[in-house]
């Protein structure tokens, strides 16, 4: 079957054509991505509609539909985007209707973390599982939840917002909450954690290699920490160990609560698994029920750079199959 994927993000919006089967996906054609900030929502939707028609023209057969992946909040049931923080001006946009009407194709909208969960479940590191979680662990921390072979979205499309869980009374701020899972386990959160560690060292009169001068504190990024840790910098390793311990706490909650077969983690974890996982694994061993722990494996994502395109395509595959089975 052929499907069209629309990936709406804060940096860019992209459309692609894919060919999909039960166990494989191939991207056949990609339109040139559009920088999100350069266009109003109306202008962007017009360009996305044109791109969908372009993909239809390149398809050997009529696509089954359009899968749309977008950051939340959104209402997947009514197909509306509801003012995501990374999409200024995208307020109550009926995106499904806006793409269905000019193309004649059915369309389905899905939170981007849920879309990535579907993609990793069908074609990536979660293949073969009936119950799994996908954690984004990138700019923020969100999750998609697959339970008994179905995507679980919750009563109001808010299932999987693990980043909002508070793991500590103090610590980096993420998702508007101090000491949250996102505060410790995200790009912005690890950068905050690094500045806390570095400031302590600087106030003690030390000059850590990662940041020898206090004026440099605000420029420290998670990428800086990751590179230093991989080079063996002891302070950078301590920072990632602290993040790993909190990752272990958060994962322990979902392991005991949901008893998944597999937890797939993206982005930063995939790049820094060697530095993050030992501490997380120790905490999980202490905190979780033995039977739940034994049933669950924690692995990095498999789709990496292509996950955005494949995620949007998998939304179309999943919902088209779901409707056919009703």
For residue range 49-97, what is the model confidence (pLDDT) as tens digits?
999 999 999 999 999 999 999 988 999 999 999 988 889 999 999 999 9
- The overall average pLDDT reported for the chain is 93
Q: In the sheet where 150-152 sits, what is the strand order?
A: 150-152, 143-147, 132-135, 262-265, 297-300
Q: How far apart are CA 37 and CA 129, in angstroms?
A: 38
Q: Measuring CA to CA, which residue among 87, 114, 109 is closest to residue 11?
A: 87
Q: Which stretch of DSSP H or E encloses residue 294?
A: helix 290-295
The three-class DSSP label of residue 68 is: strand
Q: Check pLDDT > 80 for residue 315.
A: yes
pLDDT of residue 305: 65
pLDDT range class, residue 326, cuts 50, 70, 90: low
pLDDT of residue 28: 95
pLDDT of residue 10: 86
Strand pairing report for 80-81 and 66-70: unpaired
For residue range 263-273, what is the model confidence (pLDDT) as tens digits?
999 989 999 99
For residue range 252-293, what is the model confidence (pLDDT) as tens digits?
999 999 999 999 999 899 999 999 999 999 999 999 999 999
Burial of residue 218 (number of CB atoms within 10 Å: 0-12, 13-18, 19+) = exposed
160 within 8 A of 115, measured Cβ to Cβ: no
* Structural domains of the chain in order of their starting residue, each with its CATH number: 2-122+305-325 (3.30.420.40), 127-301 (3.30.420.40)
Strand pairing report for 143-147 and 132-135: antiparallel
More confident residue, 273 or 214: 273
Extended beta strands in the chain, E state? 2-8, 12-20, 25-30, 34-35, 66-70, 74-75, 80-81, 107-111, 132-135, 143-147, 150-152, 173-174, 177-178, 262-265, 297-300
Q: How far apart are CA 118 and CA 126, in angstroms?
A: 9
CA–CA distances in Å: residue 134 to residues 66, 312, 313: 22, 15, 17
73 upstream amide cis, omega within 30 of 0: yes
Section 170-194 average pLDDT: 94
pLDDT of residue 181: 96
Q: Check pLDDT > 90 for residue 235.
A: yes
- The end-to-end CA distance of the chain, in Å, is 19
């Amino acid at each position: 079957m052929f499907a069209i994927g629309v990936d709406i993000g804060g940096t860019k919006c992209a459309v692609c054509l894919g060919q999909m089967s039960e166990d494989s996906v191939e991207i056949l054609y990609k339109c040139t991505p559009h920088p999100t900030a350069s266009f109003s929502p109306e202008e962007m939707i017009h360009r996305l509609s044109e791109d969908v028609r372009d993909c239809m023209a390149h398809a050997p057969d009529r696509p089954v539909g359009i899968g749309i992946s977008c950051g939340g909040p959104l209402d997947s049931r009514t197909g509306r985007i509801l003012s995501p923080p990374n999409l200024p001006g995208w307020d109550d946009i009926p995106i499904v209707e806006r793409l269905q009407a000019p193309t004649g194709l059915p369309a389905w909208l899905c939170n981007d973390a849920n879309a990535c969960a579907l993609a990793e479940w069908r074609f990536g590191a979660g293949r073969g599982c009936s119950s799994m979680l996908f954690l984004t662990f990138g700019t923020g921390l969100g999750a998609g939840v697959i339970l008994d072979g179905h995507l679980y979205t919750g009563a109001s499309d808010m299932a999987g917002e693990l980043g909002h869980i508070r793991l500590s009374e103090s610590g980096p701020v993420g998702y508007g909450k101090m000491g949250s899972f996102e505060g410790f386990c995200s790009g912005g959160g690890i950068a905050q954690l690094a500045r806390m560690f570095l400031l302590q060292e600087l106030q003690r009169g030390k000059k850590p290699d990662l940041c020898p001068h206090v004026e440099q504190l605000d420029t420290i990024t998670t990428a800086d920490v990751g590179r230093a840790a991989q080079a063996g910098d002891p302070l950078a390793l301590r920072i990632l160990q602290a993040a790993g311990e909190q990752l272990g706490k958060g994962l322990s909650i979902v392991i005991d609560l949901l008893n998944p077969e597999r937890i797939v983690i993206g982005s930063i974890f995939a790049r820094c698994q060697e530095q993050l996982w030992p501490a997380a694994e120790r905490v999980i061993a202490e905190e979780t029920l033995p039977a739940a722990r034994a049933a669950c494996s924690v692995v990095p994502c498999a789709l990496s750079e292509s996950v955005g395109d494949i995620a949007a395509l998998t939304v179309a595959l999943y919902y088209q199959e779901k409707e056919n089975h009703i």
